[in-house]
Structure 1
Amino acid sequence: MSRPRAGWRAWFACMAIVLAGCTCSKHPGAEQEGTGGSGAPAPLGQDSARQGGEEIILEVLDLSVGGEGAEASGTSFVTGESITARGRVRNADGLDARIQWSLQPVGPHTGPADPALKEGQEAVFRASSRVGTRGNRAPNPPLEYELVASLPLEGGETLEVRLSPTTFLRQEEDDVLRQEYLDFGTRFQPGRALISIPGRPVLNTGNYSVIAEADAGGLSRLLDEMDARVKALLRNDVQEKPVGTRGLTPKTVVVSPGAPILTVGALGDTDPQGDDVCSGSRVGGRCAGSILAGPNGIADTRANNRETTLKLEDFVSSAFRNPQRNRAAGSATINSRHTRGSALDIDPRRMAIPGKTPQQLMCIVEAAGDAVVGERDSFTERGATLFLACDSPAADHVHVQR
């Protein structure tokens, strides 16, 4: 914004135009587009002074941000991207090269610009960050700068234009998140195209309304695959004898559990019907083993007749985590798959599956993960660093990553 002195001059000039039948803005630095018939956009800010019978005007014409291989992003930025300011001096030859530019950091979390000062019609700066990487569960403050353009004139007077960070050089949320990756020095450095609002809120366990994914939409696909596989494991009992088959011996297996799961063995999910008999163990009063034909020698039981309703996303305890949140959660690595948007933590202990203990459910989810992403990338943990067997009573989630 211009100084008050220049503001009144602009206002009086504006009133003269109004009296002539035109309209204009009362705000200094907001010239009407196409002033003088040039069609040029209004400057972002201006200041003026009269010397030698001429009104010398300092204007800030343009402010832009751009990174290598990336489209310009308005005036939001991250460190490493160029911040370019361009100005001019009207009604005075040769003064464009004497415009002095400075980018002044706002707040202790914003580092000094590089360079701190620049002279010329155009100036290119880069920002720096002092936010730190100690970890927190709240959003980082945005980096922000006040741009100042000044022009010393003869007689000791100086023209000055200040562009407030409120309107100009302040990071938007996408870039605040991207800045974390730069501050932490992670291998994954998301561009703007990899920042999005997730379609499922449960996939965002970070500090912002947006997430970063190395593979756009990958978290949602991983959850869908896990959901389908867990349900398949809960419905994989085998119909050994068609329902209604007669003349069977009492110990003939009518329904058998599906393939055994490592650590806990085979886990049936069918309850006996008619006078069929459960031959295996019972968990919570429900049959977890094979179903036999029973005294009447008839196959009365249909496999997986126990309806299993499950929505796996209700049991996601952690998904995307930004680097600061990841460190606050106790993760030992800055390159966690959670920060890449490619890992899920699933806590099945609250699943209301009749006949299944929390430990068995933990093993079922881990087995589903083994099938979806491979045994190396599916494992049971407590917290962020303690690896456990899936049937450990201390386990609190299964981690699945891609």
Structure 2
Amino acid sequence: MRLDRAGRLAWVLCAGIVAGCTCGRGEGTGGSGPLAEDDARVGGGGGRRVALEITEAFTKTTGQTAPRTSFLSPEEEITVRARLVNAPNGAEDHIRWTVRPVGAHTGPAIPATHEGKEFTFRGSSANGNAGSRQPNPPLEYEVIATATVEGQTLEARLPPTTFIRQEEVDIVRQEYADYGTSFRPRLTQISVPGRALLNTGNYTFIVEEDEGKLEELLTQVEQEVNRILNDDVQEQPVRTRGLKPNTVVVSPGPPVLEAGPLGDTDPQGDDVCVGPRVNGACSGPILAGRNGVAETLANNRQVRVELSKLVTSAYRNPQRNRVIGSRSLNSRHTRGRALDLDPRALTVRGKDARQLMCVMEAAGDRVVGTGNSFTERGAATFLDCNDVAADHVHIQR
């Protein structure tokens, strides 16, 4: 399902130091009160109340209309605004800003300090890229504004509940920036998958360069696998008589890579299987036999397999991709364009594990073309499909 951008990505910042503080005004957050404020009285006990208020905090995201305080570093700017109430003219120009990173994984703000009623800065990341099976923590910043008015120093800060903090979608996006990948996902390319098996990453969300194509790829490969497992050819119509005993009634379909022709039919009546048998089932041509009658219907095993149980990897975020041993910085897995399928646990009469590995690779060839479907062991060892060491077939768009 697609994210509800207005609901999921907009942070409604609503906190303050004084009782009754409500949400900030303006394009960043809406409402009629400050995000955070401090006040004092100047000019003695009967003096006027002077207040420093942080009124807005928002991220400038290209193409995004809803207000956000989540961000991507260093691409997206973050702007904060403040005002002084009952202060002399020009005092707001001397509001001092300090932005502090929260946690060692968050790099310094650029710049980290400023003077003026508005401050725009960018974040930076100190995340590593050694790979991980756990989600990265969010980058976040504490924002503090101070001002001195007639000898009184006021301070306002965004409290911990309203730090400038990344949401999960931007934590995911940040990984791609940290790794320097050629593909950088937009917000519209991040979604919750319709089927959990397509998410083999560290987050709730997956990234798809083309929406819905990962599930479509699985469906198309499944269709081709089942075609290959039911592709024997009826050479002689059933009940045809007067045939020579060695007349081929049913022949296997086209050769399947290194596995060769694979029969999918059991002989019926007097008909005879010639050629190899696998797990006790016929895997070769079927002849008419001594009575000279075609009695066998092709593909009578009626094989139907479902590939969802065979998916070992689909979408992977960059950190997960690195930790499992992939050498490809720009792996198709990180773009939502690849599947790994392990057919070794699949039971099909007349087929062994190596033949099924070849069937899977051949099905991938039909869907994505030769060169985009191949057999591997682990994340970086390429093998022939009938190699006993193979543990999965990788299929990518």
Percent of residue pairs identical: 56
Matching residue of 1:21: none
Is 1:119 the equivalent of 2:119?
A: no
Residues 137-170 of structure 1 show CA distances to partners (whole Å, capped at 9, x for unaligned) of 0001111111111112222x21111113433411
TM superposition shift of 1:67: 2.6
8 Å contact kept, 1:64–1:72: no
Aligned to 1:191: 186
**Which of 104, 109, 116 is the equivalent residue of 2:105?**
109
Aligned ranges for residues 1-400 of structure 1 at < 5 Å? 7=18, 26-27=19-20, 29-30=21-22, 41-52=32-43, 53-72=47-66, 74-79=68-73, 80-92=75-87, 93-155=89-151, 157-400=152-395
SS of residue matched to 1:113: coil
Q: What are the superposed Cα offsets for residues 11-49 of structure 1, whole Å, 9 maximum, x if unpaired?
A: xxxxxxxxxxxxxxx34x338999xxxx96222111111
Quote the Cα distance in structure 1 between the aligned partners of 2:252 and 2:291.
Answer: 22
Q: Deviations over 1:184-218 (max 9, x none)?
A: 00001001110101111111110011111111111
Shift of 1:393: 0.2
Q: CA offset at residue 309 of structure 1?
A: 2.3
**Residues 87 and 399 of structure 1: CA distance in aligned 2, closer, same or farther (over 3 Å):** same
CA–CA separation in structure 1 for the residues paired with 2:77 and 2:25: 27
Report the number of matched residues.
375
Alpha-carbon distance in 2 for matches of 1:65, 1:213: 24
CA contact 1:279–1:291 (8 Å) conserved in 2: yes
Distance of 2:244 and 2:102 partners within structure 1? 84
Look up the match of 2:9.
none
Partner AA of 2:102 in structure 1: V
Distance 1:31 1:78, change over 3 A: closer
Preserved contact between residue 30 and residue 42 of structure 1 (Cα < 8 Å)? yes
Q: Residues 71 and 333 of structure 1: is their aligned pair in 2 closer, same or farther, counting only changes over 3 Å? A: farther
Report how far residue 257 of structure 1 moved.
0.6
Secondary structure, aligned partner of 1:365: helix
3-state SS, counterpart of residue 363 of structure 1: helix
Deviations 1:351-399 (A, max 9, x none): 1111111110111111111111111111110001101111000000011
C-alpha separation in 1, matches of 2:182 and 2:310: 29
Asked if the contact 1:145/1:165 (under 8 Å) is kept, the reply is: no
Cα 1:31–1:138 change in 2 (3 A) is closer
Whether the 8 Å contact between 2:24 and 2:56 is mirrored in structure 1 is no
Following the alignment from structure 2 to structure 1, what is the Cα–Cα distance between the partners of residues 199 and 219? 16
What is the Cα deviation at residue 65 of structure 1?
0.7
The answer on whether the counterparts of 2:101 and 2:140 sit within 8 Å (CA) in structure 1 is: yes
Change beyond 3 A, Cα 1:165–1:275: farther
Unaligned runs of 5+ in 2: 1-14
Q: Distance in 1 between matches of 2:180 and 2:212?
A: 24
Classify 1:261/1:73 alpha carbon distance in 2 versus 1 (closer, same or farther; 3 Å).
Answer: farther
Measure the CA separation in 1 of the matches of 2:146 and 2:80.
13
Deviates more, 1:124-133 or 1:238-247: 238-247
CA contact (8 A) 2:16 2:159 kept: no
Change (3 A) 1:365 1:31: closer
Distance 2:140 2:25 in 1: 28
Partner of 1:19: none
Q: Displaced runs of 4+ in structure 1, greater than 3 A?
A: 31-34, 68-73
The one-letter amino acid paired with 2:210 is D
Contact 1:255–1:292 (Cα < 8 Å) also in 2 = yes
Partner Cα separation in structure 2 for residue 119 and residue 72 of structure 1? 28
| Aligned-pair Cα RMSD in Å | 1.8
TM-score by length of 1: 0.90
Inter-partner Cα distance in structure 1 for 2:86 and 2:176: 46
The 1:325/1:139 distance shift into structure 2, 3 A limit, reads same
